């Protein structure tokens, strides 16, 4: 799991729109199964209504690609 967390951090740190993020759900509680996805909450530097509508989708896809597993983002 540490490998994946480091990969996620790199993707988020490289993104200009993300202020902070946190992991929650089964991965955060160390109760994940092989079918578990990665639940990540993000806070954006700008109001999401003022960003292109695909911004969160792109971040989610970049994270999923970096870790080779499904990630789901929730915007705070």
pTM of the model: 0.91
The pLDDT of residue 1 is above 80: no
Average pLDDT of the chain is: 95
Place of tokens 């911004």: 55
Contact assessment for residue 29 and residue 42, using Cβ atoms and an 8 Å cutoff: no
Residue 59 has which token pair? 């971040």
Domains and CATH numbers, the chain: 2-75 (3.30.1340)
Q: For residue 48, what pLDDT band results from cuts at 50, 70 and 90?
A: confident
For residue 59, count other CB atoms closer than 10 A to its CB: 22
> Tens digit of pLDDT for each residue in 62-75?
999 999 999 999 99
Three-state SS at 28 = coil
Contacts of 38 (CB under 8 A, 6+ apart): 4, 8, 23, 25, 27, 63, 67, 69, 70, 71, 72
């Amino acid at each position: 799991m540490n490998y994946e967390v480091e990969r996620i951090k790199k993707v988020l740190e490289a993104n200009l729109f993300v202020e902070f993020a946190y992991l929650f759900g089964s991965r955060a509680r160390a109760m994940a199964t092989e079918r578990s996805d990665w639940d990540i909450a993000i806070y954006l530097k700008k109001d999401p209504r003022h960003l292109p509508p695909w911004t969160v989708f792109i971040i989610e896809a970049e994270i999923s690609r970096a870790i080779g597993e499904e990630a789901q983002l929730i915007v705070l």
